[in-house]
Copies of this chain bind each other. A is one copy, B any other.
Amino acid sequence: MALKANAIVGQSGGPTAAINATLSGIIRASADSENIEKLYGMKNGIEGLIDGKIVDISYLFGDEKSLYTLESTPAAALGSCRKKLPTCGENKEIYEKILGHLKSFNIRYLFYIGGNDSMDTVKKLSEYFEANNCDISVIGVPKTIDNDLCITDHAPGYGSAAKYVATAVYEISRDSAVYTVDAVTIIELMGRDAGWLACAAALPKYYTGVGADLVYLPEVPFSSARFISDVKNELLTHPNVVVAVSEGIKHENGSYVADSMASGTIDVFGHKYLGGASRNLEALVRRKIGCKVRSVELNLPQRCASHIASKTDIDESVLVGAYAVKLATKGNTGKMVTTTRKGGDVYEISLDSVDASRVAGCVRSVPPEFINVQKNGVTRACIDYISPLILGERKIEYKNGIPVHLTIK
């Protein structure tokens, strides 16, 4: 048996309700691993690692109560960052600093939980270590509420966000239905490049008859004329029309519907900050139809409403984290964990891996077969895809009327 070495884990990118469940899975599997002595956390992802901000989180090994609470704690318990690592050619010193810190903590396994931008970090670090004959395995662990990671069937974090969206859209649809006057409620969902969360807004109507009547995704060029015509048609059959839109819907000319409200800020990965698609459509309905209309941005609760996380998502996130430990300790590097849906009537997944380089920077869109012919809703295949991901509720502990979260010091 090999001598034990240490491991380190970091979290990166936007928070989710499940990213700490993945962290818990890594803690659980590290505790059980015969290869791992101690597990460290980098504070604020790679940014903290560069600065040597490293904390020993082995104290959580075997602490079932704390780990359960961690799995119900939203956001990134280790802190996060949006740091894009330069290439080694651009800035070798950064890589040497990172390596120095890792060596001084005797770290042989590095886990990085994040989305497609974070997989770029996994790719670069693993390539650097390999090129320099360092025996350090780097494994990427997926998370994103956007579900836009390529190759994997779905990403941890999406199921909980989708469950929140489906529930909130259902509740808002009930709320919107109490008056008799014609009214349009436009609900804006996160999703810059892919409409996966807006797709989840279609679930309540499918299952209960009450919910979003129309769904618009960034995958389909948005036509204001067709939108107004769709809404008018819905108003012919019932007075309270609920519309779900992705924040990233674009006009046929490629400009964002949100654009007139956008701040113009660009993040370090070149993505535009969006906001305002629903507010612009609210103004459009007021002008073109003239009925009562309001817009609702579901906003941050989509990614942090842990109190209504999907049990399926949280359970899978723990397994995905644990699988990363298995991959690393078996000598893999530069890989990202993936989920594959097994065939058959009962939902079941298997875990596997893919080169992180194949995921980095890629975006998986909602496929055409998930979008209805009218381009204003989703198909049964889409419902069947999402439904199992939002199933189940965890028992949440409350104290003083609010959920209990875990803080990692």
State which residues 163-207 of A face B: CB under 8 Å: 163, 166-168, 170-172, 174-180, 203-204, 207
State which residues 273-310 of A face B: CB under 8 Å: 296-301, 303-308, 310
Stretch at the interface among A23-31, A54-62, A390-398: A390-398
The 8 Å CB contact of A174, one of B47, B171, B172, B304, is B304
| Residue tally, chain A, CB below 8 Å to B | 58
**Binary contact track A82-123/B, C-beta < 8 Å → 1, others 0:** 100000000000000000000000000000000000000000
With A and B bound together, what is the CA distance between A133 and B105 in angstroms?
Answer: 88
Verify A307–B403 contact, CB threshold 8 A.
no
Verify A398–B402 contact, CB threshold 8 A.
no
**Binary contact track A330-374/B, C-beta < 8 Å → 1, others 0:** 000000000000000000000000000000000000000000000
Verify A75–B306 contact, CB threshold 8 A.
no
State which residues 371-398 of A face B: CB under 8 Å: 387, 390-393, 396, 398
The 8 Å CB contact of A402, one of B167, B303, B305, is B167
Q: How far is the CB of A168 from chain B (nearest CB, A)?
A: 6
Verify A179–B81 contact, CB threshold 8 A.
yes
The 8 Å CB contact of A179, one of B44, B166, B178, B393, is B44
A73 interface residue, CB < 8 Å from B? yes
The 8 Å CB contact of A401, one of B76, B174, B387, is B387
A79 interface residue, CB < 8 Å from B? yes
The 8 Å CB contact of A297, one of B299, B405, B407, is B299
Verify B304–A75 contact, CB threshold 8 A.
no
Verify B308–A307 contact, CB threshold 8 A.
yes
The 5 closest A-B pairs by CB, nearest first: A390-B401, A80-B178, A175-B304, A75-B174, A171-B304
